[in-house]
Every structure is written in structure tokens, then in C-alpha cells.
Amino acid sequence: MPPNAPEDVSRTIETLYRSESGRILATLVRLLGDLDLAEESMHEAFAAALDSWPQAGIPEKPRPWLISTARFKAVDGIRRRARFDGVERDLALHLEAQSNEARINEALQEEEIEDDRLRLIFTCCHPALPSEGQVALTLREVCGLTTEEIARAFLVTPATLAQRIVRAKAVIRDKAIPYQVPLSPELSARLGAVLQVVYLVFNEGYSAETTGAELSREAIRLGRLLLDLLPEPEVMGLVGLMLLQESRRAARSSAEGDLILLDQQDRLLWNRDHIAEGIALTERALASRRFGAYTLQAAIAAVHAEASSTASTDWRQITLLYDRLIRIQPSPVVELNRAVAVAMYEGPEHGLRLIDDLLAREELARYHLAHSARADLCRRLEQLPEARASYEKALALARQEPERRFLAGRLRELQ
């Protein structure tokens, strides 16, 4: 391609890093056999692109260019160090033996790259790693989220999150954890952490203001990869859940980016293909009778998707599904969601009593959605001073700008 303005190249490279770094890193791990070396050489390749592409033009296929450049930079670095280190010399000889062009081209085939990502996911989710390290490392290395983004998802500081990643990498290196998808007897046992990773990626995308759709698509694609590999009920349930939630993306916000709640959404904007596929997967998972929390959440989303309006929604069925979900995955957030369903089924005073009990336990004291839900029920009961106080608490705790604008609007309405 012809030369480009440096600012245009910079924007292109930034987009490529966001969308392709996970694939590139996964393939480099396979080619180089070392996670830290792969990460270092990938960053060098992106830096080389910033230097080269404004004059040479953006390659027709940027991903193979970046992978090849990263690999050769890694080999060059190893050659330089090999003069002083016998281990590095052996590694350099090994990589050079694999450096013929046919082998490199084979390594860059699309199918092989997709397999690379699956291998890297299972490596990062190896049981030898602490559970928080499994999830953090996979989000960072496979999906390309920044340390700050992951820290926000975990509600910890970036420094704490960075330490988890460093420790997880050290375990992989010290225990020589293999870069492979586990054999069938181990596969199911390793699946839980992988599903958690995929759903965290999806949730990050679902709430993100800018790159959300991209991250959500990435999570759904990873879920489908897992479904091809292991068609277990909970994999079906997770993919079904993500599709059903993603189906509402176009209706969740206005053209100005303002939040639109479920009861005010234009259901004609919901993606019916996503809904049909999500419901079919959820029904298959339920029929197995071996399902878990993801499938139950998908079943709740399916009840919403099948209703023509909030008023016609089967809130009793949703409440019963939450009852079952609480038995297998007890959590204050699940209890909060159940309380909202109860308010729709039995009346706002019943839901408000449940939410007040939850807030009294203080587990959700800093969770803005709990205060927002309480405010909404107080508003419906015409307890306006209580509603105003709860909206103010929710606004003080909310971080996403669309949510803050929504809550500020509710406060103005009360005034």
C-alpha cells in the first residue's frame, strides 16, 4: 500500500493492537515457546510498524507482517545473547531450525492461529495457577485488555492486578506448563476458569463506552470456539447467555449515548438472529439436566427476550429461576436481581423490603446498582425523599458516564 500520514498509521496500529494482539501473541508463544519473550517481541514488532509503515505503507495483511517481524526480532535478540549464554545458544539454534519460509507460512494460517488462542487460554487457566491469576493473565495476554481495565473488572488496584499477572507468569515458567489444550480427562475440570474468563471479557465489552461491541464479539467468538471443542451444557449456556444479552445492544443507548433501561427499550431493535440462536442453545443446555449458573442466567435472559413488553414478562418464572440460581451460586448481586423481579411480580413494597435487608448486610454498600434499584422502587412508591437520597448514593458510586447521566436525570425528574 502507498505511504500514509503518521497520525493515520498510528490510529491503524492502535486499532490493530486492540483487535489482533491476542491472536498475534498466541501464535508467537507457539513459535517462540516463551510467554515473556513472545510479549516482548510483539511490542517490538508494533514499534517497528510505527517506524516503517508511514514510508512503506500499511501491509495488505498486517497480522502476518507483525508476527513475522516479532519472530525475527526475537531470534535476533536471542542470537545476541547467545554469545554469553549456552541456554540462549541452544534456543537460537532451535528457532533457526524452524525458520524456513514454508514452516512460517504454515504457522500463519488462520485455522492454526485460532487454535493458538485456544491453547493459550488453557495454558493461562492451568490449575497450577491461582484462580485470580488465571483470569487476570488470560484477559491480559489472550484478549489484550489493559491492566487498568482488568483491575476495574476485579475491583482491585492496577498494582495488585499487575502482581497477580507477574506471579502467574512465574508459575508457568517455573513449572514448565505446556502450551496445549488438555486431554479429554482434564478438559472438563479446566473449563470453569475458562468460562469465567470469557464471561468477564463479555461483561467488560457490554459496559464499555467505546470498544464494547468489539470486546463482546470477541467473547462470543471465543465461546463458540470452546463450544466446537467441548459441546458441554454450560458452554452452550454461556454462549446462549452472551448472545441473548448482546441482542439488546442497539436498544440499550440513544444516539447521544444515553442509557435506556429495559422497560423503555424499543424491542424492534433487538437482534432476532441472536435471540433465536441464544434460546436454542439455552434449551439444549436445559434439556441435558447437567446445567449450571450460566444456563440459568441464559434462561432468565430468554424469558425477557420472548416477552413483547415489560408488562407481559413472566416475572414469576424469572423469580423461580433466580431461586434456583441462588441455590447453586449464592451471591448478593443475584439476590438483588431476584429482589427486582419480586418487585415486578409481587409489588414494589416487597422488593424494597428485600433490598433494604441486603443493604443492611453491607455487602452491597458500595454497589451503585443496589442504591439505584432501591431509588427506583422508592420512586414507584412515591417515597420521594428516600428515592432522592438513594439516587444520590448511586450517582456518587457510579463510574460509567452513561450511568451517571441517567442517574443525574432521575434526580432532576424528582426535583
The three state secondary structure string of the chain is: CCCCCHHHHHHHHHHHHHHHHHHHHHHHHHHHCCHHHHHHHHHHHHHHHHHHHHHHCCCCCHHHHHHHHHHHHHHHHHHHHHCCCHHHHHHHHHHHHCCCHHHHHHHCCHHHHHHHHHHHHHHHCCCCCCHHHHHHHHHHHCCCCCHHHHHHHHCCCHHHHHHHHHHHHHHHHHCCCCCCCCCHHHHHHHHHHHHHHHHHHHHHHHHCCCCHHHHHHHHHHHHHHHHHHCCCHHHHHHHHHHHHHHCCHHHCECCCCCECCHHHCCHHHCCHHHHHHHHHHHHHHHHHCCCCHHHHHHHHHHHHHHCCCCCCCCHHHHHHHHHHHHHHCCCHHHHHHHHHHHHHHHCHHHHHHHHHHHHHCCCCCCCHHHHHHHHHHHHHCCCHHHHHHHHHHHHHHCCCHHHHHHHHHHHHHHC
Going by pLDDT thresholds of 50, 70 and 90, the confidence category of residue 83 is low
Is the Cβ–Cβ distance between 210 and 224 less than 8 Å?
Answer: no
Residue whose C-alpha cell is 488470560:
138
Q: What's the pLDDT tens digit per position in 25-56?
A: 989 998 888 888 999 999 999 999 999 999 88
- Report the C-alpha gap between 367 and 119 in whole angstroms: 36
Provide the mean pLDDT of the chain.
Answer: 87
Assigned C-alpha cell, 401: 458516564
- Report the C-alpha gap between 243 and 13 in whole angstroms: 29
Going by pLDDT thresholds of 50, 70 and 90, the confidence category of residue 152 is confident
Residue whose C-alpha cell is 502467574:
168
Higher pLDDT, 60 or 218: 60
Is the Cβ–Cβ distance between 226 and 164 less than 8 Å?
Answer: no
Give mean pLDDT, residues 268-293: 96
Going by pLDDT thresholds of 50, 70 and 90, the confidence category of residue 210 is very low
Burial of 361 (C-beta count, 10 Å sphere; 0-12/13-18/19+) = exposed
- Report the C-alpha gap between 23 and 25 in whole angstroms: 6
Q: What's the pLDDT tens digit per position in 212-269?
A: 577 788 789 889 988 987 889 999 999 999 999 999 999 998 888 889 999 999 999 9
Taking the CA of residue 138 as centre, how many other CA atoms within 13 Å lie in the half-sphere pointing to its CB? 28
Assigned C-alpha cell, 84: 554469553
Going by pLDDT thresholds of 50, 70 and 90, the confidence category of residue 141 is confident
In the chain, domain spans = 1-108
Length reported for the chain: 415
- Report the C-alpha gap between 306 and 312 in whole angstroms: 10
Instruction: Give backbone dihedrals phi and psi of 398, rounded to 5 degrees, phi first.
Output: -70, 145
- Report the C-alpha gap between 104 and 146 in whole angstroms: 29
Give me the percent of the chain exceeding a pLDDT of 70. 89
- How far apart, in Å, do the first and last CA atoms of the chain sit? 58
Most confident of 67-71, 102-106, 152-156, 372-376: 372-376
Assigned C-alpha cell, 181: 489444550
Among 179-183, 333-337, 388-392, the minimum mean pLDDT is found in 179-183
Burial of 100 (C-beta count, 10 Å sphere; 0-12/13-18/19+) = exposed
